[in-house]
A and B are shown apart, each in its own frame.
Chain A
Amino acid sequence: MDERWRLSRRQILKGMAAAGALTTAELAWWDEPLIAPRRAWGAQPVRFQFSVPEPKRTALVESLAQRFNQSQKDFEVKVEFVPQAQARQKLITSIAAGTPPDVAQVWDNWVGEFDGMNAVEDLTPKVRDWSGYKDVLPLAWETVTVKKRILSFPWVVTNDGVYWRTDRAKEYGAKPPKDDWNFDDFLAYAKTMTKPDKNQYGFGMRGQGTWAVLYATEFMYANGAQVLGKDGKVAINSKEAAEALDWYLDLFRKHKVCPPSVPTDGWRGIVEGFGRGVTNSYIHNSGSSEEQKDFVKPENFATVPLPFGPAKKRSSFYFSETLTPFKAGKAREGGFKFMAWAMEPEPHFMYSKALGLLPARKTVAERPEFTRDPALAGFIKSFPFSIVSPYLAHAGWGGKLDSEGVPLFQQALVGRLTAREFLDKFAEVLSKNMS
């Protein structure tokens, strides 16, 4: 055989390594094969509950857990996937039964409830000793601080902004939304972009779920309203709030710039409406930006901050997806190690980027992948006026927003209550449940 065609063992190994590297390069981070040796036997299991809204996250989190397991030998994270709709319910029942997971991924508005159940522990001293403490945005810590105690790690954060169609705005001659736009500009855009004959509407308003009330509240804040007054009492039924809410509801009731499905449009409804081209703008956090890149294509949409109201004010509610450990967990040390590891720059970057959410760590958030992405611009520009949701003030409000606030809001939407009547009833619900 010709010697030129004979491969040495070293050449074969090099070739195999190169092929492996090429294959890996084509894969997403969470799909990459693990090359580190398996962890030693006898590691303490750490139960981690993760709620799944979409399949991409399953692979990502499974990969994260495996990487953590490879990085040390004392603990082994076992992910327990649950459907997102059942996550809160499952946690509550497991807490009541005394068998919560060691760590769970939960939204910040649940943390206060779990604190009320005496299910979470004060992490303040441990967190302050953690090396990345000062690199996490203070506002992010605020989302997980209840009664001056830090109860979780803010894994990723986000705030609300407006998604709008750049291509259609050009096509219909609409004035493109600017960073400092106001209510009038918003209405003008929505009107120009409403084409009922083409089954297109200017604005996809949310009418179902807690955030239906939160988005409306952001418009009330733009007119100078507050949920709580300076005396700590509920002040959401103010004149300013009623005026702004009337204006907001009229987008659907009077101006008809929203699709008829609004009263039952939840998160899926508004994201799909924009993705399918039925609506030409909607309010949401950065979490749907990746999805819209697939649906609408990155060049056809952008994001912009919420508009200024008549009071020359505006706000965007800021919230976090947290990693929360539970008091009754059996592997609390392992749980803390896992959370601290997940907040390390690389896993933190990968998780945030893959989901379109923003990192809680300043050094990671400053990376160009976030700052130069037009789909995220509206959210990053909203940081200066972002505030933690005022509804986090009382743990008792969490469930009531959904069970009583939303049906009342829907009554206002369909004209069974005026804005003022809704706010009076809503204020009564909030006042009764301050705890």
Chain B
Amino acid sequence: MAREATLARPLARPLLTRRAREVLTGYLYLLPVVIALGATVVVPIVRAIQMSLYRNVLIKPQEYGFIGLGNYARLLDDDVFWLSLWNSFYWVFGSVSLQFLGGFVAALLLHQSFQGRAAVRTLTLLPWIIPGVVVALIWEYLYQPNYGALNDLLARAGLMTDKVAWLSNPSLAMPAVIATNVWRGVPFFAIMLLAGLQAIADELYEAARVDGAGVLERFWHITLPMLRPIIVVATATRIIWTFNYADLIFVMTSGGPANATQITSTYTLLQAYSNLDFGYAATLSVVLLLIMLAFTLLYLRVTRGVEPVA
């Protein structure tokens, strides 16, 4: 039987090298995410930047037109913007620092073993589960000076003679809304930090104990460094959320009284939906974005990001 000779053919040289194909395949896998993020994040940001360069007051369509940096120049002269920016920092710093402290204490307590721990852990989450608007309505009612529960309790306890207008007094309104936000945000930190605490190996504490380290030393040299990546991520996320979070203030005080609780996000809403000035509202949004970007970069640099400590 005659054998057919098989001729070896040289393989065609591929268009791309193996390495290039691997890289390209990797990017192809990323493509859906890039498209999704592009459509939902990049395009709106670009549109907002574009809109901020136009005079765009919906009730004055005849005045619509490109004004360059006109809206940005107006912003520099806007006293309410500067007040709202200051209020935003007060709101963010007050809320996040107290949420963190409260959350840390709660996480440390929930990390201990005691009877009914599972139930307590579930209950701790409740404020976080309730929608923001509902939280705002509940607390608005609690703070109500004429028939709210808080004044009633304080009066019954003999701690108060005159009724306190928690949300109607400009000096008290911001601390009052911050307290509400703290109540709502503590569970977030508690759960995040609790997860971190559970991941720390007991051996580390045992070794430290053998070496004679006290409770504070163990906390300072083991717990805190081991939790640092979680703390950095959780606080950075929370700072951004709080800066943009308008629901609570919008429902409880609408930015009042006398702009005492006006933060940049509520002020942006006011410009867009009360004044129908979408150009100026877009300018505020762009500035807000830049501030948050700068703040986050600075924060990550100061805290050295989420890399493990050397």
A residues neighboring B (CB under 8 Å): 88-89, 92, 95-96, 113, 116-118, 199, 207-208, 259-266, 273, 276, 278, 395-396, 398-400, 402-403, 406-408, 410-411, 413-414, 416, 435
Contact = CB atoms under 8 A, between A and B. Distances in A.
B239 interface: no
B56 to A, nearest CB: 10
Contact of A407 (B59, B145, B256): B256
B169 interface: yes
Given A208-B254, A261-B146, A266-B254, 16 more contacts: A92-B276, A116-B59, A116-B61, A118-B61, A260-B163, A260-B164, A261-B168, A262-B168, A263-B168, A273-B146, A396-B59, A400-B275, A406-B256, A407-B258, A410-B256, A413-B257
B61 A117 contact: yes
Contacts of A266: 254
Contact of A113 (B144, B147, B271, B276): B276
Given A399-B275, A399-B276, A411-B258, A261 B165 contact: yes
B112 interface: no
A398 B164 CA distance: 33
B87 interface: no
A199 B155 CA distance: 12
B146 A407 contact: no
Interface in B123-169: 144-147, 163-165, 167-169
Grouping DSSP codes into helix (H, G, I), strand (E, B) and loop, the B interface class, with mixed when no group exceeds half, is loop
A408 B259 CA distance: 9
A304 B253 CA distance: 31
Interface in B260-278: 262, 270-271, 273-276
Contacts of B146: 199, 259-261, 273, 276, 278
B252 to A, nearest CB: 8
A260 B171 CA distance: 14
Nearest to B259: A407
Interface residues of B, number: 31
Top 3 A-B pairs, shortest CB-CB distance:
A116-B59, A263-B257, A260-B165
A413 B170 CA distance: 11
Contacts of B259: 407, 410-411
B61 A259 contact: no
Nearest to A115: B59
Contacts of A408: 258
Contacts of A406: 256
A264 B273 contact: no
Nearest to A210: B274
B60 interface: yes
Contacts of A263: 165, 168-170, 256-258
Contacts of A411: 258-259
B60 A396 contact: yes
A221 B257 CA distance: 25
Nearest to A114: B59
